[in-house]
Amino acid sequence: MRIQGYNYGSTGIPNGLSSSPDDCIFPNVSVETEFGNQIKTKARIPIMTGALGSTFIAAKYWESFAAGAALVGFPIVVGENVVGIDKEAVIEKGRVKKAPELDRRIDTFLKYYDGYGAIIVQMNVEDTRNGVAEYIIEKYGDKLILELKWGQGAKDIGGEIQVSNLDYALFLKNRGYVVY
């Protein structure tokens, strides 16, 4: 849908520009925003992604999502369970030692990050139990934002991923996930 409109006035015009339709074009407009109480996170546009978590679709298209978010300058969210379902992740005694899929996601965003936008890592109960926050803080410091979750109360999703391999289902069950 395209709405054909006309600019009938403007506020906050930068010096050197007028309210003329020739000046009031989108490259001359700033919709920058920021969020955060003490530490501000800047974004060039006032949007962010939903959580792109442990689904295979999110993993497959992550590089496009992350590069786009970083280049445009808006926050992207790594959803829950990315470490827990990663067969290559190493979790010993309740602590993540290696998290290749999470690292790939964070590093892809940081490769293009220029100070606008953010990478937010969402963690559920299992992620917290597995020490994902500690891993992130030790490896990346203050380069990203952590979001703590408690359950799936916001939606009835009936399961997060579909597993068609018995060995993988047993792997997830041994990591503490509910498998049905």
pLDDT of 151 above 90? no
pTM of the model: 0.81
Write the DSSP string, 34-101.
EE-SSS-EEESSS----EE-SSHHHHHHHHHHHHHHHHHT--EEE-TTTTTT-TT-EEETTEEEE-HH
Q: What is the per-residue pLDDT across 40-87, written as a single tens digit (0 to 9) for each?
A: 999 999 999 999 988 888 999 999 999 999 999 999 999 999 999 999
What residues have CB less than 8 Å from 157, skipping those under 6 apart?
none
The answer, yes or no, to whether residue 177 has pLDDT greater than 60, is yes
d(CA 109, CA 129): 25
In this prediction, residue 69 carries a pLDDT of 98
Q: What's the pLDDT tens digit per position in 4-49? A: 666 565 667 778 888 788 887 878 888 899 999 999 999 999 999 9
Kindly list the domain boundaries of the chain, sorted by start residue. 32-174
- ∠ CA 179-102-144, nearest 5°, is 125
The C-alpha torsion from 49 through 54 and 55 to 59, rounded to 10°, is 70
Closest CA to 149 of 172, 174, 132, 166: 132
**Beta carbons of 76 and 65 less than 8 angstroms apart:** yes
pLDDT, tens digit, 9 for 90 and up, residues 100-149: 999 999 999 999 999 999 999 999 888 998 999 999 999 999 899 999 98
Please state, in angstroms and rounded to a whole number, the distance separating the CA atoms of residues 55 and 46: 25
90 has pLDDT over 60: yes
- Res. 155: pLDDT tops 80: no
Give me the amino acid identity at 100: P
> What is the overall mean pLDDT for the chain?
88
Residue 93 has pLDDT above 80, yes or no: yes
Instruction: Locate 170 and state its tokens.
Output: 């047993």
pLDDT at 158: 56
* pLDDT band for position 176 (cuts 50, 70, 90): confident
Q: Which whole number is the average pLDDT over 137-164?
A: 78
Give the number of other CB atoms < 10 A from CB of residue 14: 9
